[in-house]
Amino acid sequence: MFRLYFIAMMLLFCVVARAQRKFVIASLESKTPQRDVQVSIDNGPEFRTPWHGQIEVPDSFKRIDFCHPKFQRRYVLRDEIHGDTIYLIPALNALDEVVIYGERRGDKRMADLMRPARPVEPQMPQVLTTGPNVLAMLGWLYDHTLGPKIADKQRRKKALKRVRALEQEYEQRWAALRDTIPHTTPNETKP
């Protein structure tokens, strides 16, 4: 029985000692896995990611460094990782190559080269809708059928309110006039 416990504990120790985590290294812009990213774990030996961008690191790591010419250099601490994907930020303003013309600084070509480049924004693809525009058809149908009827009903309600307000005003004036005139009956004689 003691042997069985000993073997189980040794297997458990081996599993814990070999505990590793898998990560996928991807581009933040396109969300695609990246190959040939140079990875260094705790400033140890470096290796490159394969075509699928997956790496396997020991669970006891403290820091992972990533380096690729098309991306900004990045390091990640163990506490910063919350998922299984690590995104790299593309280096948009990095130069692929530098060409130097001549030696005089006053040369016009050199002055043109020294000006900062304006980043070119990629154009977004335009989406063309196919088929009928159902919302536009419903809007047109409302404007030509129910819209005028509802507008007429609202106009009639406003006019009716104005007429009722005038009727109440005239009724109050009539009541005021009736109260000011003395009431006499035909059988009464005047003194």
Is 78 found in the same domain as 146?
no
This prediction's pTM: 0.41
Is 78 found in the same domain as 22?
yes
Tell me whether residue 48 is in a domain: yes
Higher pLDDT, 93 or 190: 93
Q: List, for residues 115-167, the tens digit of each pLDDT value.
A: 666 666 777 777 776 778 888 888 898 888 888 899 999 999 999 999 999 99
Range of the domain at 161: 133-179
Among 88, 121, 155, give the residue marking a domain's end: 88
Is 83 found in the same domain as 9?
yes
3-state secondary structure the chain: CHHHHHHHHHHHHHHHHCCEEEEEEEECCCCCECCCCEEEECCCCEEECCCCCEEEEECCCCEEEEEECCEEEEEEEHHHCCCCEEEECECCCCCCCCCCCCCCCCCHHHHHHHCCCCCCCCCCCCCCCCCCCHHHHHHHHHHHHHHHHHHHHHHHHHHHHHHHHHHHHHHHHHHHHHHHCCCCCCCCCCC
Tell me whether residue 127 is in a domain: no
Total domains, the chain:
2
